[in-house]
Amino acid sequence: MLMSVASIAPAYAADDTDNVSAAEVENALADVSPHLLEEAASASATADAAAVVVTGETAASVPRDPADGVDLNFDGSSLSIGLPALDGTATAVTLDSGAITYPSRNGVANTVVPLSDGVQMLTTVASPDASTSFSYPIEMPIGGSIALAADGSAIVTDAAGDPLVTTGAPWAVDARGVAVPTHYEVAGTTLIQVVDHDAGEFSYPIVADPKFTYWWGGKEWWPASRVNVSLIATAVAGYLGMPGAALIVGSAIALCNQAGRGIWVYWTWAGQVWCTGP
């Protein structure tokens, strides 16, 4: 499959088994269930950015140099999210899907999917010797912080406690689609995704993500095994700070999950909440 190459950094001294090429990343993502992966939004490029998505008063910028981090600008606020595992990482390659990936020689590759409502930041773990901890340092307004919600998702807030961006609950899957244990941790202003790929017999590569969504709304996939009125209602109420939202979700879950295959839950900053089946 052809792909457009933004640029490739010089070779790094490392074992070939730790090399993760753009083609290998693309193949790994192709094996992930479509409901987990976001579709890239239409983007432009600049001298410093491999992809820029501007929607209304928001802008997401994905760098050519992975050390520069991903910039999110919205509603007068801005964040910069650093990428994990940068040692031996090359500069940006644009995949046919529109996602931006960074080949590496450390057994781990980052991929950023630019979206109209934020970014999805994917980690491809190609080696069983790779780290199990992936840190996303976040530069945020002074006084900002990161908190974890009851469902394991993360909320980045400003000094006043108002949400800026959120993530969904963390996920990780191996090459066969088997779920890999994962969770978020917080260290200061760094969000850490722990992927316990050493906790069992998993097939590589493994793909994991946080998706950062602007706080104007969002959506989250709840697989059938996790469709629970109390859990979802509590999570949505926490997202919106509106107890009434929990009632809306709770009354609709059974209808949305009639097929028993899981549901999408959607919400907006205005407090609208709804769900659909797959």
pLDDT digits (tens, 9 = 90+) for 89-139: 999 999 999 999 999 999 999 999 999 989 999 999 999 999 999 999 999
Q: What does the pLDDT read at residue 274?
A: 59
Q: Which residue has the higher pLDDT, 188 or 6?
A: 188
Mean pLDDT value across the chain = 84
What is the pTM for the complete model shown? Answer: 0.75
pLDDT of 11 > 50? The answer is no
What is the domain partition of the chain in residue ranges? 4-215, 216-278
Which contiguous run of DSSP H or E holds residue 251?
Answer: helix 243-256
pLDDT band at 242 (very low <50, low <70, confident <90, very high): low
pLDDT band at 22 (very low <50, low <70, confident <90, very high): very high
- Give the pair of three-digit tokens for residue 248: 């809306």
Q: Reduced to 3 states, what is the DSSP secondary structure of residue 144?
A: coil
Query: What is the residue type of 52?
Result: V
Nearest to 123 by CA among 213, 57, 195, 36: 195
Q: What does the pLDDT read at residue 266?
A: 62
Q: Which residues contact 240 (CB under 8 A, 6 or more apart)?
A: 267, 271, 273
DSSP state at residue 240:
H
**How many other C-beta atoms are found inside a 10 Å radius of the C-beta of residue 278?**
13
pLDDT tens-digit readout, 206-239: 999 999 988 765 667 888 887 777 777 777 777 6
| CATH architecture label of 4-215 | Distorted Sandwich (2.70)
159 burial (CB, 10 Å; 0-12 / 13-18 / 19+) is exposed
